[in-house]
């Protein structure tokens, strides 16, 4: 089973978590919505899998390149 780390492409705030650990997701499904400069930026799954870990919480500030979600 391949592990996929999904990183933030921007710095911003975690506005909303759309999934929780244990959820099965499809490719291109929105996992997290980030907020940066008053814009909502969706973070999508690059492939189908299961959410193994969420490494952030709603309201948390994130940096570019930070791992947000681990899929298995």
Report CA 53 to chain centroid distance, whole Å. Answer: 10
Distance CA 13, CA 36 (A): 7
Residues 4-43: pLDDT tens digits? 999 999 999 999 999 999 999 999 999 999 999 999 999 9
pTM of the model: 0.94
Domain ranges for the chain = 4-71
Instruction: List, edge to edge, every strand of the sheet that includes 39-44.
Output: 39-44, 30-36, 12-17, 61-62
Q: Return the CATH number of the domain spanning residue range 4-71.
A: 2.40.50.100
Residues 38-66: pLDDT tens digits? 999 999 999 999 999 999 999 999 999 99
């Amino acid at each position: 089973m391949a592990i996929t780390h999904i990183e933030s492409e921007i710095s911003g705030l975690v506005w909303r978590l759309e999934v929780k650990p244990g959820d099965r997701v499809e490719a291109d499904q929105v996992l997290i919505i980030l907020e940066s400069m008053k814009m909502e930026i969706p973070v999508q799954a690059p492939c189908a899998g299961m959410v193994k870990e969420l490494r952030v919480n709603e309201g948390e500030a994130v940096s570019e390149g930070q791992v947000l979600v681990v899929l298995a």
